[in-house]
Amino acid sequence: MRIIDVQDIGSIIESIRPKTNDDVKQKVLSIISNVRKRKDKALKEYETKFSGVKIHSLKVTKQEIKSAYSKVGKDQIEGIKLAKMRLEKSENAVRKKLQNMTIVIDGVVMKKTFLPIDTVGCYIPGGKARYPSSVVMSVVPAKVAGVKKIIAVSPPNEKGKIDPLTLVAADICGVDEFYKTGGAQAITALAYGTESIPQVDKIVGPGGVFVTLAKSLLSEVVSIDMIAGPTELAIVADATADAELVSLDLISQAEHSPDSMCCLITNSLKLKNLVLQSLQQKIKTIKRASIVEESLRKNGFIAICSTEQQMVDFANKLAPEHLEIITKTPQKLAKKIKSAGLTLIGKNTPSSASDYLLGSNHILPTNRFGRTRGSLGVLDYLKMNTQIESSKLALGKISKYMKALTDAEGLPNHYEAVRGRLS
């Protein structure tokens, strides 16, 4: 991991931000164009190219879902059900707060209601990996919101199949249709629709560089949840932190992929040295060591700060997806954090647990978008609908000021539309 002496926070943050690769962008644009024109045929060709198998039917059948149950363990099924139950509880608590309302202002009646989106597409990472937990995180809030139709897509494995536990999770959580396609091609299919895959109103879910870029490029034709790219973890820790726990947490997120960004923000040189020693020892024996090592070497760093306030300032500027606080007074420090996608307080709140069973959502903003939004949730699947009704008397009360403002903006016909109702 790189060691950074924090002085000019702005320039440091800019230097470590992920950059868009123009070559990757052109490839994604080519995929978008091809799928838009050739639909299912292009999807099947891409799955053969990327997965190495020939896909005859993109849609997962009811029989495939039924047989998936026999291929997974009881504890795995119970784990999915527990994750679903805990996330439902937290999302329902939010949903109940979103009450319809009527506002009356001088004869103007305004009604605000929260309506579920009709159709949502959930991207589930897959292929060589398996992420049934991402099914829970994307589908449960949609069900709580009342989304009418939930479509899931995921890249098939080398056998042309979707991971059994992913299918079981989809069945338990209430996915309506599941399709075997991934990458930028799957995002395009959801955005425009194909012969098999219906067009959706919104696309949600995390993914790699190709998926994230496709979502961004297609956001002009379909709504998206956020930029949720490769995992990010920052740990703010002082001299009281256990270096072994810090290193375990860095490893736990680095194992996602070589593109993961994991860092330690500290004001303790002693902790820095102990964490580096621990990582060097653990890397020799852990599973997925090559991925962890590449991730930490390529994207990992330790930021050395002079004060606790500088640690806070650095963390807020970095705005990481996950931010752990392992300090002497973590609750006090957490009150100063405004920009993280998810803040995890204290030594017994590892980000890995939040990825599964703490009741929070692990689909979170990356690439500094934590400055403006938090985790995926029921709000992402609702539209606030506004209806307004005015009376002639109410228009009369605003007439004088309408004329003043419309004259100021050079839009006189706006005023005439009001005046015509008053004569």
**How many Cβ atoms from other residues are within 10 Å of residue 335's Cβ?**
10
Measured between its terminal Cα atoms, the distance across the chain in Å is 75
> b/e string for 368-401 if b means 16 or more Cβ within 10 A?
bbbeebbbbbbbbbbbeeeeeebeeeebeeeeee
- What is the pLDDT at residue 176? 98
Closest CA to 303 of 368, 256, 245, 235: 235
- Local confidence pLDDT in tens for the 423 residues of the chain: 999 988 878 888 887 777 778 899 999 999 999 999 999 999 999 999 988 889 999 999 999 999 999 999 999 999 999 999 999 999 999 999 999 999 999 999 999 999 999 999 999 998 777 899 999 999 999 999 999 999 999 999 988 999 999 999 999 999 999 999 999 999 999 999 999 999 999 999 999 889 999 999 999 999 999 988 889 999 999 999 999 999 999 999 999 999 999 999 999 999 999 999 999 999 999 999 999 999 999 999 999 999 999 999 999 999 999 999 999 999 999 999 999 999 999 999 999 999 999 999 999 999 899 999 999 999 999 999 999 999 999 999 999 999 999 999 999 999 999 999 998
Question: CB burial class (10 A; 0-12, 13-18, 19+) of residue 275?
Answer: buried
Out of 91, 255, 322, 324, the active site residue is 322
Query: What is the reported pTM?
Result: 0.91
> b/e string for 176-189 if b means 16 or more Cβ within 10 A?
ebbbbbbbbbbbbb
- List the strands of the sheet with 232-237, edge to edge: 2-5, 301-304, 261-266, 232-237, 322-326, 342-345
- As beta bridge partners, residue 122 has 152, 204
Closest CA to 50 of 60, 65, 62, 35: 35
Residue pLDDT, tens place only, 366-385: 989 999 999 999 999 999 99
Q: Please calculate the CA angle 106-108-113 and round it to the nearest 5 degrees.
A: 130
Question: CB burial class (10 A; 0-12, 13-18, 19+) of residue 62?
Answer: exposed
- What is the pLDDT at residue 20? 73
Inter-residue contact 318 to 234 (CB < 8 Å): yes
- What is the pLDDT at residue 51? 83
321 given a catalytic annotation: yes
> What torsion do the CA atoms of 78, 81, 86, 88 make, to the nearest 10 degrees?
180
Inter-residue contact 197 to 220 (CB < 8 Å): no
Query: Chain centroid to CA 106: how far?
Result: 42
- Beta-strand pair 301-304/108-116: unpaired
195 given a catalytic annotation: no
Domains in the chain with CATH codes:
2-18+230-358 (3.40.50.1980), 22-224 (3.40.50.1980), 394-422 (no CATH)
Out of 321, 324, 362, 414, the active site residue is 321
Residue pLDDT, tens place only, 76-92: 999 999 999 999 999 99
